Amino acid sequence: MANKEYRELLQAISSLGENERISVSNKDDIGLFDYTDLEKEDREQRWMVLAYCIEQKRITDVGILFELNPFFFDWYKRNILSEIPISETYH
């Protein structure tokens, strides 16, 4: 996705009503697993949008999101939750 598409996605999320949420019960709803063919920068932009949605409490069942996508969960812990961002984790 291009930066313009990410901005449009963020605007759409921001325009949700106060009580409207994005459900991750169906992993295809938000393209959760469409990251394998993306470049690193595009994948991280998509994950930044997901992190923003989590921060704004726009996503329900965040635990399921982390469980279904361990790569996103690892990135989220390293870049969002960590006080000092860590660029990569080696397993």
Mean pLDDT per 10-residue section of the chain, whose length is 91 residues: 65 71 61 67 82 84 85 90 72 54
Domain chopping of the chain, boundaries: 3-81
Say what the pLDDT of residue 45 is. 81
pTM, 2 dp: 0.70
Amino acid 44: pLDDT: 83
Q: How many CA atoms lie within 13 A of 91 on its CB side?
A: 3
Structure tokens at 47: 């994950």
User: Please, what is the end-to-end C-alpha distance for the chain in angstroms?
Assistant: 28
